[in-house]
Amino acid sequence: MSEVKSECDASIIIGLLVVFALPLTLLVPGFSVWNVVPKLRVTRFHIFAQQLDWCELNAVIIALLALFFCLYLEIRKRKLDDLVESVLMVNQATDKTMDVERERQTAAVRVCVDLLDASGEHYENLLLLQGDLRHRKQRPPSIQPSGSDM
């Protein structure tokens, strides 16, 4: 039940043969790979009723691949533009929220400063009253006889 995956499958072996065999064909005099590969003749469509060799066919395939790659890049660019647009919208919403939060915190700090000022004034008044009470405790108020009691 265990699957054994070989590192050398058919596509790798064919690729290696092509990579190493093509340079060896250069050593054979009068031999060309293009002579071995058959040519195509398209006769179904009258527009293409001409003999195509592999160079022209490869050029067409490379042009189509380049076109598809450019289309792929355009699609990716549009997706990235949409992502950037959404990130910018979130960034702007975050900036607005942060501005509101800063204003709220500034108002809260102002209220705290006002409360500290008011509590400082109340503390000063309490210290003055405490000093006044101590002064009165040390010297009891003197009773002066009124002029009518005599």
95-132: per-residue pLDDT in tens? 999 999 999 999 999 999 999 999 999 999 999 999 88
- Whether 57 contacts 40, CB under 8 Å: yes
Arithmetic mean of pLDDT over the chain: 82
Residue 65 lies in a domain: yes
- Residue labelled with tokens 């092509």: 18
The per-residue b/e assignment along 21-31, b for 16 or more CB within 10 angstroms, e otherwise, is eeeeeeeeeee
Q: What is the pLDDT of residue 12?
A: 79
- Whether 25 contacts 37, CB under 8 Å: no
Domain that holds residue 48: 12-138
Residue 149 lies in a domain: no
For the chain, counts of helices (H) and of strands (E): 3, 2
- Whether 40 contacts 52, CB under 8 Å: yes
38-89: per-residue pLDDT in tens? 776 656 666 555 666 777 888 888 999 999 999 999 999 999 999 999 999 9
Residue 7 lies in a domain: no
Beta bridge partners of 51: 41
Residue 148 lies in a domain: no
How many domains are contained in the chain?
1
What confidence category does residue 1 fall into, taking pLDDT thresholds of 50, 70 and 90?
very low
Residue 47 lies in a domain: yes
